[in-house]
C-alpha cells in the first residue's frame, strides 16, 4: 500500500456515494419535500400548465416523475462511487465530472434534508463531511493544492459536522426522537438518562470542534472524533437490528452506517497526515535525548 492516506480519502468518498446510492435505489429520499411544496411550486404549476395544484399533487404521473428523479440520483451516486474508488493520481476527466455531479447532488440532497427540518442551519452543516469530501478529493488534484490548506479544510469539515450534531444532542434544537430512541435501545436506559447522555455528548462535540485546531490537543480530539464518528455510524444498525429478520434489518438500516463511515474516517485521515507529514513536536511532547 504505497499511499494509505490517498486510499483512505478515496474510500471515504466511495462509502458516502455508495451509501446514498443504496438509499436512493432501494428506499427513498426527500425529493417530495420540494416537488410537493405548494407555496413554492403552485404558481409555477398553474402558470405553466392547465393543471390545478390538486391535480398535480395527486397525479400518479407526478409521483412517477419524482420516483424517477430519486432513481436517477441513485445512479449518479453509484457511478460516482465507482469513479472515486478507481481514481489514480492521474484521474480521467470523466471521473472528475461524475464526482462533481455527485457532489452537487449531495448538496441539493442536504438542502432538502434541511428543508424537512424547518431550515435549521445545523441540519445542513451536520452533513458537511458528506457533501464536502467529494470536492476535497478533487482539490487533491488541483494545481492550487497545498497540504496545509488540505488538512485545514478537513478539520473545518470535521468541526462543522460534530458541532452541528452537538447542537441537536445538546438540545439547542429539539432533540431528535431517533437520537433518544437509539440511546434507549442500545443502553436499555430511561428516556431521561438518554437525554442526559446526549447532552454530555453534545458538550463533547463542542469541545472537539475547538480542540482539533489546537496543536497540542489535536491528537486527543481527533482520536475521540474517530471513535465517536464510527460509533454514531454503527449505532444506526445496532439500535434497529432485529434478529428475527436479520437480512431485512441489514438492508433497511446498514446504508445509514455506510454513508456515515466518513465521520470516523476523515478524522483518521487527518491523524495520518499529521503523523506522516507534520512536525510531531507541535502536537506531542518530545523528550530530548541527553
Q: If the chain, 290 residues long, is cut into consecutive pieces of 10 residues, what is the mean pLDDT of each piece?
A: 86 98 97 95 94 95 97 98 94 96 98 95 98 96 90 97 98 96 97 98 98 95 98 97 95 98 98 78 54
Q: Please tell me the predicted confidence (pLDDT) of residue 89.
A: 86
Cell numbers that stand for 114 in this block: 434541511
Q: Please tell me the predicted confidence (pLDDT) of residue 186.
A: 96
Whose CA is closest to 267, among 129, 145, 138? 129
Residue 281, exposed/middle/buried by CB under 10 A (0-12, 13-18, 19+)? Answer: exposed
Whose CA is closest to 259, among 24, 45, 4? 24
Q: Any idea what DSSP says for residue 50? A: S
Buried (b) or exposed (e) across 217-245, using 16+ Cβ within 10 A?
A: ebbebbebbbebbbebbbbbbebbbeeee
The pTM of this model reads 0.94
Amino acid at each position: 500500500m504505497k499511499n494509505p492516506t490517498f486510499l483512505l480519502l478515496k474510500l471515504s468518498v466511495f462509502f458516502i456515494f455508495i451509501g446514498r446510492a443504496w438509499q436512493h435505489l432501494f428506499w427513498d429520499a426527500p425529493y417530495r419535500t420540494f416537488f410537493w411544496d405548494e407555496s413554492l411550486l403552485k404558481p409555477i404549476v398553474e402558470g405553466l400548465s392547465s393543471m390545478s395544484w390538486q391535480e398535480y399533487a395527486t397525479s400518479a404521473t407526478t409521483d412517477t416523475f419524482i420516483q424517477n428523479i430519486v432513481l436517477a440520483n441513485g445512479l449518479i451516486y453509484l457511478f460516482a462511487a465507482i469513479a472515486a474508488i478507481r481514481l489514480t493520481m492521474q484521474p480521467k476527466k470523466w471521473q472528475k465530472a461524475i464526482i462533481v455531479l455527485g457532489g452537487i447532488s449531495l448538496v441539493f440532497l442536504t438542502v432538502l434534508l434541511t428543508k424537512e427540518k424547518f431550515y435549521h442551519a445545523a441540519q445542513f452543516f451536520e452533513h458537511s463531511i458528506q457533501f464536502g469530501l467529494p470536492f476535497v478529493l478533487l482539490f487533491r488534484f488541483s494545481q492550487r493544492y497545498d497540504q496545509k490548506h488540505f488538512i485545514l479544510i478537513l478539520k473545518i469539515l470535521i468541526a462543522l459536522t460534530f458541532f452541528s450534531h452537538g447542537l441537536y444532542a445538546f438540545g439547542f434544537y429539539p432533540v431528535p426522537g431517533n437520537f433518544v430512541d437509539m440511546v434507549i435501545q442500545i443502553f436499555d436506559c430511561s428516556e431521561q438518562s438518554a437525554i442526559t447522555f446526549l447532552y454530555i455528548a453534545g458538550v463533547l462535540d463542542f469541545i472537539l470542534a475547538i480542540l482539533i485546531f489546537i496543536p497540542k490537543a489535536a491528537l486527543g480530539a481527533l482520536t475521540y472524533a474517530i471513535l465517536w464518528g464510527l460509533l454514531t455510524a454503527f449505532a444506526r444498525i445496532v439500535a434497529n437490528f432485529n434478529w428475527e429478520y436479520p437480512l431485512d434489518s441489514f438492508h433497511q438500516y446498514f446504508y445509514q452506517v455506510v454513508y456515515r463511515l466518513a465521520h470516523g474516517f476523515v478524522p483518521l485521515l487527518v491523524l495520518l497526515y499529521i503523523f506522516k507529514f507534520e512536525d510531531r513536536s507541535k502536537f506531542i511532547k518530545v523528550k530530548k535525548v541527553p
